[in-house]
Amino acid sequence: MKEYFADIPKIKYEGKASKNPLAFRYYDADRIILGKKMSDHLPFAMAWWHNLCAAGTDMFGRDTADKSFGAQKGTMEHAKAKVDAGFEFMQKLGIKYFCFHDVDIVPEAEDINETNRRLDEITDYLLKKMEETGIKCLWGTANMFSNPRFMNGAGSTNSVDVYCFAAAQIKKAIELTVKLGGKGYVFWGGREGYETLLNTDVRFEQENIAALMKMAVEYGRSIGFTGDFYIEPKPKEPMKHQYDFDAATAIGFLRQYGLDKDFKMNIEANHATLAGHTFRHELRISAINGMLGSIDANQGDYLLGWDTDEFPYNVYESTLCMYEVLKAGGLTGGFNFDAKNRRPSNTPEDMFHAYILGMDTFALGLIKAAELIEDGELDEFVEKRYESFKGELGQKIRSGTATLSELAAHAEELGSCKTPDSGRQEYLESIVNRILFG
Ligand code: XLS
Ligand code: CA
Ligand code: CA
């Protein structure tokens, strides 16, 4: 079997003092954190599209990296070379999952029947590799944003033919996800939104998206898909207004159309910040609604207002993310590195450095989040902060048995009200720093 990354050894844990650029400093798969192996806390996944397909093209220039893997691009030979290279890559890093769009794994043909034939062929090949290596599929999805037919949306399109093509792609992508034993199926509504209300019937479009999702759930369940469907919220880009703006909006939509039992959120860090939220906020909103499913682990750039999909290096953020994940009892999905090398980082080594960085960032975040939880001071503070609700009146409010009149009577009896206790934000921030930096 041809080796695609012959100069790269299997990446091992060497500890934080190591200066070996091809070693983990924090990710120690078998280390036990809060009673569970690190690798079980952190089911990492490789994103097929960024890692094996994207080669650095941006709006201003063409590819800088070679992702041909020795084959002619646009052929099935290339599709298979990507499978071989991808599995070698994952095995060398100890990554146990991958995520894919339909058109990441085969070149899309002009005729959907031919694309589907190619998809059958490549997934037979993939399945063989999965059986050989034990690597699994985290989630699948259909790319309903690249092909020009989706320029006005997929579920939100104005064309019934385009809507049927979206349905056909979803049907096939769910079948493939089931065939590959995927844990989840993602809807990212990249073009489910609008540029101007002057030409858009928002209610019509949202109803159609919901109908498509309903059909997807019915079909998926009918062919034995038992995993979660996910919405991946994002406020904008490519469209100016996207319907799945953030977790709260997406959850409201799911409830409105009776889809909430089958769906959870796939939260991407960079999408959270584009929505004007912290990553942590989106995780918390999903978790308190019982909908924290999976994570697209990346980060944006403080100075750029777009979806830069960078590999995560910010340990402050990964610690707070892992704090939310641990508090929520873990994910039903995993951590998909929906991230790409910067355009000038264009060698195979850079691909490995990027994943090592991301995996170490989350491993360190996990270690620090566990320390924050074991330290307990944050929890105690929050618990104490709401203590006044433990009294008789507070309990009545919490159990929904209080009346507005009796609460008003209490206020009137007091006459004037003192300000509540300090929120101690700066002190609490210093606790996080203490845990992070000693
Ligand atoms: C794009 C999205 C996309 C989804 C899957 O911004 O992150 O890659 O994760 O369609
Ligand atoms: Ca994503
Ligand atoms: Ca993104």
Q: Which residues line ligand 1 (CB under 6 A)?
A: 101, 141, 186, 188, 190, 232, 234, 268, 296, 307, 338
Residue 168: pLDDT over 90: yes
Q: From the candidates 50, 101, 271, 277, give the one annotated as an active-site residue.
A: 101
Q: Yes or no: say if 115 and 109 are a contact pair by the CB < 8 Å rule.
A: yes
pLDDT, tens digit, 9 for 90 and up, residues 6-55 = 999 999 999 999 999 999 999 999 999 999 999 999 999 999 999 999 99
Interatomic CA distance for residues 199 and 201, integer angstroms: 7
- Model confidence, pTM: 0.98
Could you say which DSSP state residue 50 is in? I
Give the Cα separation of 172 and 166 in Å (integer): 10
**For residue 177, how far is its CA from the centre of ligand 2 (angstroms)?**
17
78 is catalytic: no
Is the pLDDT at 274 greater than 90? The verdict is yes
- Measure the CA angle with vertex 90, ends 88 and 39; round to 5°: 145
Q: Where are the beta strands (DSSP E) in 111-173?
A: 136-141
Looking at all shown ligands, the one closest to residue 306's CA atom is: 3
Q: Over the stretch 190-242, which tens digit does the pLDDT of each residue have?
A: 999 999 999 999 999 999 999 999 999 999 999 999 999 999 999 999 999 99
* Residue 101 is a catalytic residue: yes
How confident is the model at residue 1, as a pLDDT? 81
CA 117 to chain centre: 29
Integer Cα distance of 372 and 170 in angstroms: 42
Residue of 186, 188, 242, 295 with the most ligand 1 atoms within 8 Å of its CB, for mutation = 188
Which of 231, 234, 294, 310 has the most ligand 1 atoms within 8 A of CB, as the residue to mutate?
A: 234
Q: How far apart are CA 154 and CA 107, in angstroms?
A: 20
Sequence-ordered list of residues with C-beta below 8 angstroms from that of 304, at least 6 positions apart, any chain: none
